[in-house]
Amino acid sequence: MMKIGIAPDSFKGSLTALEAASCIERGLRKALPGIRTVKIPMADGGEGTVRAIAEATGGRMIKRPVSDPLGKRVQALYGITGDGSSAVIEMAAASGLALLKPAERNPMITSTFGTGELILAALRAGAQRILIGIGGSATNDGGTGMAQALGVRFLDRNGREIKQGGGFLKKLHRIDMDGLIPVVRRAAFEVACDVDNPLVGPKGAARVYAPQKGATPRMVDELDSGLRHLAKIIRRDLDVDILTVPGAGAAGGLGAGLMAFLGARLRPGVNIVMDAVELSRKLTGCSLVIAGEGRMDGQTVFGKAPAGVARVARKLKIPVIAICGSLGEGFSKVHAIGIAACFASLERPLDEEELPKLGPAMLERCAEEVGRLIALTPGFGRKG
């Protein structure tokens, strides 16, 4: 009997990646009793990455109190892998824009301090490797708040610590790394980053992203200048040049800070996830792989989870199909990257509030129909 790998991303607003995989599995089994399956929850480094890696590795989610972008205490989740060696963090859980009301958004004073607290909590729980997703930030502080939470000091000309927030970077005179907490020095850091924005300039952190975080044009100028000054001090004090590194401008310069202060490596998010869940190993021996996401369109080929699944499956010479919630403009581009066929599960347009109620059953029914099609394959049952 054939073995089928089921490796979908989450269906936003409806299902986690594991829930989607379970729906697809149930539907397939109705048409293909006795098949062997392996479920591998996937993500692309953005929303859902923490849960996907935790679930795929038999790990767990942990909640910890941390500071939000304005210093208020909030409960933030991070994931720990099944063997306890790695932790997965989304900076948005502690320092995200969604944590603030529109009137509270001000990247001159918001800080990544809570992200640093989350990193420290994971390290003290025993993790030796930290995977960090850095989308959706409310900050523009170059990662200085994160580093402060881990023991780094950012001093003005009088030897006093500067205040948190991107608006105070221009006061920075010296970086003191001596207080970096020892457990941080021993850890390895990888950053899921799918943008190539440099730290400063027309495509930099401040000019591209700060307006949506509440910055006025004048603030944007100050923030960009502050990040440029930070890069100058980092180069002088730490001998690290992050000014023009692609991805340094991600999350208000957190990408730059993670590289400079923690020695982190920036990688495409889907690659980090595929390595963490051991996708290649788990797909070995499968006769078919089913990928999926909430909406598949022309953007799927650009670093989304189904594209990563297809890339690994192609190396293993395993055919891939996709079962998605809906298919959008340009979805057929995925055929060129190895996804042989795509199926949409929504039987009619659904309002956002209807998706969690009706979407799972529709996905299961679609998977059953796909299973019926697979059953027509000549030689079915003698593979795998």
What's the CATH number where 88 sits? 3.90.1510.10
Residues 56 and 121 both lie in one domain = yes
Show the tokens assigned to 8: 């979908």
Residue 381 is predicted with a pLDDT of 55
Amino acid at 77: L
Residues 144 and 190 both lie in one domain = yes
Give the distance from CA 335 to its chain's centroid: 25
240, 269, 298 - which closes a domain: 269
Residues 121 and 216 both lie in one domain = yes
Residue 380 is predicted with a pLDDT of 63
Amino acid at 47: E
Is the CB of residue 234 less than 8 Å from the CB of residue 240? yes
- From CA 19, how far away is CA 40, in angstroms rounded? 11
Amino acid at 212: Q
359 domain residue, yes or no: yes
- From CA 140, how far away is CA 151, in angstroms rounded? 20
384 domain residue, yes or no: no
Q: 59: exposed, middle or buried (C-beta count within 10 Å: 0-12, 13-18, 19+)?
A: buried
Q: What is the pLDDT along the chain (384 residues), one digit of tens a residue?
A: 789 999 999 998 789 999 999 999 999 999 999 899 999 999 988 888 999 999 999 999 999 999 999 999 999 999 999 999 999 999 999 999 999 999 999 999 999 999 999 999 999 999 999 999 998 899 999 999 999 999 999 999 999 999 999 999 999 999 999 999 999 999 999 999 988 999 999 999 999 999 999 999 999 999 999 999 999 999 999 999 999 999 999 999 999 999 999 999 999 999 999 999 999 999 999 999 999 999 999 999 998 999 999 999 999 999 999 999 999 999 999 999 999 999 999 999 998 889 999 999 999 999 999 999 999 987 665 544
What is the tens place of the pLDDT at every residue in 68-127? 999 999 999 999 999 999 999 999 999 999 999 999 999 999 999 999 999 999 999 999
243, 269, 295 - which closes a domain: 269
223, 239, 269 - which closes a domain: 269
Give the CA dihedral 376, 377, 379, 382, nearest 10 degrees: -90
Q: 242: exposed, middle or buried (C-beta count within 10 Å: 0-12, 13-18, 19+)?
A: buried
Residues 149 and 75 both lie in one domain = yes
Is the CB of residue 324 less than 8 Å from the CB of residue 294? yes
Residue 379 is predicted with a pLDDT of 67
Q: Which domain holds residue 350?
A: 3-42+279-375
- Total domains, the chain: 2
- Nearest to residue 161, comparing CAs of 152, 308, 187? 152
Q: How many CB atoms lie within 10 A of CB 53?
A: 28
Q: 329: exposed, middle or buried (C-beta count within 10 Å: 0-12, 13-18, 19+)?
A: exposed
Amino acid at 237: D
Alpha-helix residue ranges (DSSP H) falling in the chain? 17-31, 49-56, 92-95, 113-124, 144-149, 182-185, 205-209, 217-238, 250-262, 269-276, 279-283, 305-315, 355-375
What is the pTM assigned to this prediction? 0.87
